[in-house]
Amino acid sequence: MTATENFRTMSRRDLRLELEELYAEYVACLDEERFEEWPEFFTDDAVYRIIPRENFERGLPIATLHCESKGYLKDRVVAIRQTMVYAPRYMRRLVSNIRIIGWQDDGLEVRANYAAFETLRDELTRVFSVGRCHDTLVDVGGSLKFKAKLVIFDSELIPNSLIYPL
């Protein structure tokens, strides 16, 4: 039995546990600012986009952050580490209501809600962004990777800048 069949035939309860662990690891990686490890949650051809809800609902293609390969993710990490100028910050993300939509041709469709909190120096912690994720996961060598991750945020206004990924 191949690994793909393994995930595909896994009981919903077991699959759910896999996903819970995966999302917890994903969030920990970002919260702990281990950005260099972040692209490894994705396939080489992954699409990762952070998009305002209004664009998503109107079918408009512009994203706030648009990546269409693992290379884009790595470039984003280099920018965060080396090129962009920004205030120091903590970000903490909560991912919840993980919902298995089911297996499609592309892979496993999953939806989840998220909230991200931002803490800047000298300032109170604030809700930075709230929204949902539309994710597609595939089996790569026995582990689930994001083939697509669409982060759709409800927040009408981005508080100043979006520096770290969601």
Partner 1 sequence: MVVRHQWPKEGISRIPYWVYTDPEIYAREQERIFCGRSWAYVALEAEIPAPGDFKRSSIGDKPVVVVRDDAGHINVVENRCAHRGVQFCQKHLGHATEFMCPYHQWTYNLQGDLIGLPFRRGLKQQGGMPADFELKPHGLRKLQVTTRHGVVFASFADDVEPLEEFIGLEMLKLFDRVFDGRELEVLGYSRQLIPANWKLMFENIKDPYHASLLHVFLVTFGLFRADNPSEVRVDKTGRHGALISWRGEQQRTADNAEIKSLLENFTLQDPSMLQPVREFPEYTVVMTTLWPNLIIQQQSNTLAMRQLVTKGPEAFELAWTFFGYRGEPEDMRQRRIRQANLMGPAGFVSADDSEVIKFIQDGIRQCPAGKGVMEMGGRGWQESEAHMVTEGAIRSFYDYYRRVMEL
Q: Note the residues at the interface with partner 1 (CB under 8 A).
A: 50-52, 54-55, 58, 60-66, 68-72, 74-75, 78-79, 82-87, 156-163
- 30 burial (CB, 10 Å; 0-12 / 13-18 / 19+) is buried
**Minimum CB distance to partner 1 smaller for 16 or for 74:** 74
Q: Minimum distance between the CB of residue 162 and partner 1, rounded to whole angstroms?
A: 4
Q: Minimum distance between the CB of residue 95 and partner 1, rounded to whole angstroms?
A: 19
**Minimum CB distance to partner 1 smaller for 15 or for 63:** 63
**Minimum CB distance to partner 1 smaller for 105 or for 156:** 156
Q: Minimum distance between the CB of residue 12 and partner 1, rounded to whole angstroms?
A: 35
Query: DSSP characters for 12-73?
Result: HHHHHHHHHHHHHHHHHHHHTT-GGGGGGGEEEEEEEEEEEHHHHHHT----SEEE-SHHHH
Q: Minimum distance between the CB of residue 52 and partner 1, rounded to whole angstroms?
A: 6
Distance CA 154, CA 151 (A): 10
Q: Minimum distance between the CB of residue 134 and partner 1, rounded to whole angstroms?
A: 17
| Residues 6+ positions from 34 with CB-CB distance below 8 Å | none
**Minimum CB distance to partner 1 smaller for 52 or for 107:** 52
**Minimum CB distance to partner 1 smaller for 15 or for 67:** 67
| Residues 6+ positions from 30 with CB-CB distance below 8 Å | 38, 91, 93, 164, 165, 166
